[in-house]
Amino acid sequence: MSGKPLVVVLIGPGGVGKGTIARRLIERDDALWLSRSWTTRPQRATEDGSEYVFVDRDTFMQAADEGHFLEWAEFHGQLYGTPLPTPPEGNDVLLEIEVQGAAQVRQSDPDAVVILLVPPSLEELEGRLVKRGDPSEHVDKRLHSTPDELRLGRALATREIVNDDVDRATNEILSILGTLRQPRRNPS
């Protein structure tokens, strides 16, 4: 494959399972490269440190001023940013980010594919947020912002996928990728 990499942006409310699905996608698809974001948020007890580049606000803002990020945004008081992507030759790029960042990516690359992952229900989402160890006030804040995130996400997304089962949702995204790559492999 040659030419500009396809940029696939996975969005959806916190706790919907974007991280799990992103990891599953890169395990299953050898030509997909997952970007590692920067954040000012503290590392969670359930994280091993590989999830993000964890930095302080000054370091983040300096990198932003120096043009280090493809996009960055503030989400619940913390900064998150995608470094300019450096995928291996022939790889497509997978971003797992929130909706304001996805809007910036779409603006700079109108061909970016935005996939909105939605929970089977709000109850299920709450259960997942509690399980991953977020303090209860964070769970409340995140649940409160879910309807807005879904509304903005729906306005932006190319496709919407219900994460009722990780394998099923992963297969659905892989099949979308397969369809999108087809005309790029066989240009007419």
Q: How many CB atoms lie within 10 A of CB 111?
A: 9
Does the footprint of ligand 5GP cover residue 163 (CB under 6 A)? no
Does the footprint of ligand 5GP cover residue 6 (CB under 6 A)? no
Kindly write out the interface string for residues 61-80 of this chain, putting x where it contacts ligand 5GP by CB under 6 A and - elsewhere: ----------x-x-x----x
Does the footprint of ligand 5GP cover residue 153 (CB under 6 A)? no
Identify the residue among 32, 40, 98, 114 touching ligand 5GP (CB under 6 A): 98
Does the footprint of ligand 5GP cover residue 14 (CB under 6 A)? yes
Closest CA to 83 of 104, 68, 98: 68
CA angle (156 as vertex; 146, 96 as ends), nearest 5? 65
Does the footprint of ligand 5GP cover residue 60 (CB under 6 A)? no
Query: Least distance to ligand 5GP from the beta carbon of 13, Å?
Result: 7
Does the footprint of ligand 5GP cover residue 18 (CB under 6 A)? yes
Identify the residue among 81, 117, 150, 177 touching ligand 5GP (CB under 6 A): 81
Identify the residue among 20, 33, 41, 54 touching ligand 5GP (CB under 6 A): 41
- Judged by CB, which is closer to ligand 5GP: 15, or 92? 15
Residue closest to ligand 5GP (Cβ): 101
List residues near ligand 5GP by CB under 6 A: 14, 18, 37, 41, 71, 73, 75, 80-82, 96-98, 100-101
